[in-house]
């Protein structure tokens, strides 16, 4: 099969509010990107990566991502992911990946039962995914969160942890956990494959020093590098 095109797609759902920031973050690292609509089919041979951005989606009042995972675009994304295509889910996008079964586990309401919008620190636990290859293990990233359902629960300890909530020095503790997530988990990746990453913090909102941090940029830089050298899927 011909290699997938060296482009990324960002999916817009009804209620999504971070799609344009995500497109901007990708363009800032010179990654060709298109914004596509959730009701359209996903053309897997047109892209080498897809991002499900943060925000909200229709049906979130039932459970975050529970209805959006049935959007027409998702069937193609699931096939794309199963063939090795790169998939990044941010916040609500992470919740959709869990609902679709592309990542293990589930999200519960925050332990505080409150919506949390604040800056957090995350320690990189794994660098073998295309999204974190620009990082080093143990690196602490400053990024914001904005969610009401970020209390991640693993299933039989099958989650492969990519990042954990920590303090500014990289210490993982209950006090550094903003939502009660199991083992301070902030991001996970699939295994085997390492081609799917879900994270609750918003790297697109930490992409410039003017925003308070540019730590999220390394995720987009790594993704852009992977897009420029697409593998056959």
Domains located in the chain, CATH noted: 8-228 (3.40.50.880)
Per the omega criterion (within 30 degrees of 0), is the bond before 192 cis? yes
Specify the pLDDT at position 133: 92
Of 123, 109, 130, 196, the closest CA to residue 160 belongs to 196
Query: pLDDT value at position 191?
Result: 83
Q: Is 202 a catalytic residue?
A: yes
- Strand blocks (E) in 41-126: 49-52, 86-90, 106-108, 116-124
The reported pLDDT for the residue numbered 155 is 80
Strand order from edge to edge, sheet including 160-166: 33-37, 8-12, 49-52, 86-90, 196-199, 185-189, 160-166, 116-124, 140-147
8 A C-beta contact, residue 147 and residue 153: no
CB 89 within 8 A of CB 50: no
Q: What is the DSSP letter of 148?
A: S
* ∠ CA 216-218-223, rounded to 5°: 110
Tokens of 150: 């970020």
* pLDDT (0 to 100) of residue 186: 98
Identified catalytic residue from 31, 38, 202, 221: 202
Mark whether 158 is an active-site residue.
no
Which H or E element spans position 20?
A: helix 19-28
Name the DSSP letter for residue 67. T
Below-50 pLDDT ranges, the chain: 1-3, 232-233
Going by their DSSP bridges, the two strands 160-166 and 185-189 should be labelled as antiparallel
The model's pTM:
0.92
**Would you state the pLDDT for residue 1?**
38
The pLDDT of residue 232 is: 42
Distance CA 17, CA 96 (A): 15
Read off the tokens for 157: 């300890």
Q: What is the pLDDT of residue 11?
A: 95
Instruction: Given the residues 91, 147, 149, 166, select the one marked as catalytic.
Output: 91
Closest among 55, 66, 127, 63 to 96, alpha carbons compared: 66
Residue 99 known to be catalytic: no
- CA-to-CA separations, 167 to 27, 84, 139, 157, in angstroms, rounded: 30, 34, 12, 24
Catalytic residue among 19, 125, 149, 204: 204
DSSP letter at 94 equals: H
């Amino acid at each position: 099969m011909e290699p997938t095109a060296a482009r990324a797609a960002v999916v817009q759902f009804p209620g999504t509010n971070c799609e344009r920031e995500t497109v901007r973050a990708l363009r800032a690292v010179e990654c060709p990107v298109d914004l596509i609509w959730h009701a359209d089919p996903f053309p897997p041979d047109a892209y080498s990566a897809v991002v499900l951005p943060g925000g909200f989606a229709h049906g979130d009042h039932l459970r975050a991502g529970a209805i959006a995972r049935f959007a027409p675009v998702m069937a193609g994304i699931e096939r794309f992911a199963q063939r090795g295509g790169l998939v990044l889910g941010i916040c609500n996008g992470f919740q959709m990946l869990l609902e679709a079964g592309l990542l293990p586990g589930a999200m519960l309401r925050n332990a505080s039962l409150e919506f949390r919008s604040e800056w957090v620190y995350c320690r990189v636990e794994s660098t073998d995914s295309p999204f974190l290859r620009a990082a080093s293990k143990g690196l602490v990233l400053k990024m914001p969160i904005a969610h009401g359902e970020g209390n991640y629960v693993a299933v039989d300890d099958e989650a492969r942890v990519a990042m954990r909530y920590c303090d500014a020095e990289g210490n993982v503790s209950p006090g550094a956990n903003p939502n009660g997530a199991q083992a301070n988990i902030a991001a996970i990746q699939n295994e085997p494959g390492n081609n799917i990453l879900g994270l609750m913090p918003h790297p697109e909102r930490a992409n410039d020093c003017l925003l308070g941090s540019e730590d999220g940029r390394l995720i987009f830089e790594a993704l852009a590098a992977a897009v420029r050298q697409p593998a056959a899927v």
